[in-house]
Amino acid sequence: MRVVARGREARGSGGASSLAVSTSGAYLSAMADPGATDWPVLELASWTETYATLHLWTQVVGKTTLALVPPLNHWWHVALQVGPCGLTTYPMRSGRGAFTVEFDFVAHRLVIETSAGVQRVLPLEPRSVAVFYAEYLAAVRALGIGVTITPMPSEMADAIPFPEDTGHAAYDADAVGRWWRIVAGTARVLQEFRGGWVGKASPVHFFWGGFDLAASRFTGRPAPPRPGADRITREGYSHELMSVGFWPGGGMVAEPAFYAYASPEPTGFADAKAAPASARYQKEMGEFILPYAAVRAAADPARAIREFAESTYLAAATCGGWDRAALERPAVMSR
């Protein structure tokens, strides 16, 4: 499946290109502070192999949702949802019951649970994608669940079919735990961002194709067709939107980063001023990028993420002529 959460091609899980956005020494110094536990240190180079392996494991599970979950707008049904301990699927039908699959990044286990209360648990530990794929399918079938998934990774260059991939086999539980804390913290901020919107909005969810957390706001207006778009891209970007999220990095971005983009991109969006000051428009990607290191160095990281989301939204809405009075909520409701 091609990228549907974002408007760009796959970024991969590997190293940086010559266009990589680098982190300044000041930000790296701040990341060395062991006391910043809510927003932990995470450098791309420190967990590249684990990141690549976990990306492929999430694709194995994600393709189950593609096969079994009824379609939702813009491919939202295939995304994984943010739970208290990790990422989980929507409930999926199986016979007369249902089941879910959860990546528990606190206990480091994969839990397959049926509506009858029966579980199969696989430890998240170093082993190849081929072994994980075989063990996962065996566990699913042991629960009486029949599903056929496409065994080819999506949105990846030089992809290897899951049953043949013996090269990706790393799992650093500490690095995964740190990445998960960032995802969970970001999800809380993006839920607040979503709450300021009465128009159509996506859930705050995780796309396993690009391995990114995303939240999108929509104008409600149809978008012009993209030249040469396939059916997946046509559905993903059938209506005007702006999206913001978090991604561990790779390709043109050599570090974990927050991103924001508008689709279709309105005139003037790239020249808009985003906050905080460390946010920059990345021309080659067509997105605003805010390095995670800059957020971690901020006095209030959550506020920095909110500023990024709100300022890039304002740029999209202003340049794109969005009906802000009809779409924005003046104040988030409280109990």
- The verdict on 131 and 232 lying in the same domain is no
Q: What is the pLDDT of residue 205?
A: 98
Other CB atoms within a 10 A radius of the CB of residue 191 amount to: 14
- The verdict on 221 and 278 lying in the same domain is yes
Q: What is the pLDDT of residue 193?
A: 97
Q: What is the pLDDT of residue 332?
A: 56
Per-residue pLDDT tens digits for 79-103: 999 999 999 999 999 888 999 999 9
- The verdict on 66 and 31 lying in the same domain is no
Q: Considering its fold, how many domains does the chain have in total? A: 2
- The verdict on 60 and 184 lying in the same domain is no
Of 138, 164, 190, the domain-final residue: 164
How far, CA to CA in Å, does 50 sit from each of 123, 175, 249? Answer: 15, 8, 13
- The verdict on 130 and 200 lying in the same domain is no
Residue 118 lies in a domain: yes
pLDDT in tens, the chain (335 residues): 224 333 333 333 333 322 333 333 333 333 333 334 689 999 999 999 999 999 999 999 999 999 999 989 998 999 999 999 999 999 999 888 999 999 999 999 999 999 999 999 999 999 999 999 999 999 999 999 999 999 999 988 899 999 999 999 999 999 999 999 999 999 999 999 999 999 999 999 999 999 999 999 999 999 998 888 888 788 888 999 999 999 999 999 999 999 999 999 999 999 999 999 999 999 999 999 999 999 999 999 999 999 999 999 999 999 999 999 999 998 754 44
Give residue 224's domain range: 16-47+172-327
Of 129, 164, 199, the domain-final residue: 164
Residue 6 lies in a domain: no
Q: What is the pLDDT of residue 91?
A: 96
- The verdict on 112 and 256 lying in the same domain is no
- Smallest Cα–Cα separation from 14: which of 55, 63, 42? 55
- The verdict on 200 and 157 lying in the same domain is no
Amino acid at the residue 171: Y
Token representation of residue 301: 């990281």
Q: What is the pLDDT of residue 231?
A: 82
Which residues lie closer than 8 Å to 149 by C-beta, 6 or more apart? 60, 63, 64, 66, 67
Q: Rounded CA gap, 254 and 287, in Å?
A: 15
Of 164, 190, 208, the domain-final residue: 164
- The verdict on 101 and 243 lying in the same domain is no
Q: Rounded CA gap, 256 and 275, in Å?
A: 17
Per-residue pLDDT tens digits for 168-197: 999 999 999 999 999 999 999 999 999 999
pTM of this prediction exceeds 0.85: yes
- The verdict on 299 and 190 lying in the same domain is yes
Q: What is the pLDDT of residue 162?
A: 98
- The verdict on 231 and 112 lying in the same domain is no
Q: Rounded CA gap, 180 and 107, in Å?
A: 12
Q: What is the pLDDT of residue 96?
A: 84
- The verdict on 206 and 160 lying in the same domain is no
